[in-house]
Structure 1
């Protein structure tokens, strides 16, 4: 029994339990993501070395959790768009006039997008277009449902395919972000221009 006791104590000293290691890993991942978001928010070209230093971890630890800059950007984009998806749910796109629901969604989600513009710009530069689009699938699906509802209500135009209108909205939102990133628009100006363009885009043609 004494031998078993000493064996168990030795195992504990060697870190036999996986829980402390798991907790350390979770703390490191959280620190890396926070540092990466901050670094990319200041500089879309931030390197993995800069991010490791900002997170207070070594490069070995950083690459142990994220094998590449692209993987890290993909995780950050996924996290940001999950927040946008939460806004979609909170906006309740299934009720109320479709045009009002669309503008409410654009305004509320723009705040999140604006906060992450440089990171999202970096992700779009580093990741394949298919991967970027894949992160938006849920949001785009909700948008297409809203467009379809607006057409049924007679609010939105029905002379163009719904999927084309959704693609155009998706492209315009990205373009608005790029205009802010380039300094051509302030965030407020970009949102105003985006709203005005979307209203014109979706408006039913005169009979």
Structure 2
């Protein structure tokens, strides 16, 4: 039997919908229970396990796709943050918006850190890191931020502080409402000229 272009296009559209449903279900399941299985994710998505495995050969591959999606959507949101003007004020706006995204995705991020290689997690954060780097470099150039430590170190510490705050909130040692102020104070202790 010859398949028509319309039939192939419909199947592709169906496959795209299944992938989207699987990713949405994975976020929901992994946020509720980090050890959620592929079977649980397929059930939540309303698709069969065979269909889920047809799109994602393993749980690790699915987790990778989920994190890539979460980071991409977060990057799109952060692109809307006004980074003009005073670098210090701009960085504070960026930190507060970044924290909101990290807080929303902290369980998924913890799953990713347990299942994906560190270099993959770093590569997924390349675009957000570039935005932070440009802002910190602008602050270094105008004297707002110290320039006696490598900018790559400053970015790495900021990243770790954000995700460390997520872990502290998850452990119940820091209230979510307190985290942005703690993160900002810690980062500016790192960046402020001595």
Alignment TM-score, normalising by the size of structure 1: 0.88
- Of 146, 151, 159 in structure 1, the residue corresponding to residue 135 of structure 2 is 146
* CA contact 1:83–1:112 (8 Å) conserved in 2: no
Could you say what the CA RMSD is over the residues aligned between the two structures, in angstroms? 1.8
* CA contact 2:102–2:163 (8 Å) conserved in 1: no
Q: Which residue is 1:188 aligned to?
A: 177
Paired residues, what number? 194
Deviations 1:97-137 (A, max 9, x none): 10111110111122222111111110111100010111001
- Of 72, 75, 79 in structure 1, the residue corresponding to residue 65 of structure 2 is 75
The CA deviation at 1:49 is 1.2
Deviations 1:15-63 (A, max 9, x none): 9720221122112111111111100111111111110111111111000
Q: Unaligned stretches of 5+ in structure 2?
A: none
Q: Which residue is 2:41 aligned to?
A: 51
Which whole-Å CA distance do the structure 2 matches of 1:110 and 1:99 have between them? 16
Which whole-Å CA distance do the structure 1 matches of 2:74 and 2:98 have between them? 6
Structure 2 residue 122 is matched with structure 1 residue 133: yes
Q: Which residue is 2:18 aligned to?
A: 28
Moved more, 119-128 or 188-197: 188-197
After superposition, the Cα gap between the structure-2 partners of 1:16 and 1:160, relative to the gap in structure 1 and judged at 3 Å, is: closer
Structure 2 residue 52 is matched with structure 1 residue 62: yes
Q: Which residue is 2:93 aligned to?
A: 104
Structure 2 residue 175 is matched with structure 1 residue 177: no
Which whole-Å CA distance do the structure 1 matches of 2:189 and 2:5 have between them? 63
Q: Secondary structure of 1:187's partner?
A: coil
Structure 2 residue 25 is matched with structure 1 residue 42: no
Alignment TM-score, normalising by the size of structure 2: 0.93
Which whole-Å CA distance do the structure 2 matches of 1:57 and 1:101 have between them? 44
Larger radius of gyration: 1
Deviations 1:134-163 (A, max 9, x none): 100111122111111101111101121111
Q: Unaligned stretches of 5+ in structure 1?
A: 1-9
The CA deviation at 1:188 is 1.4
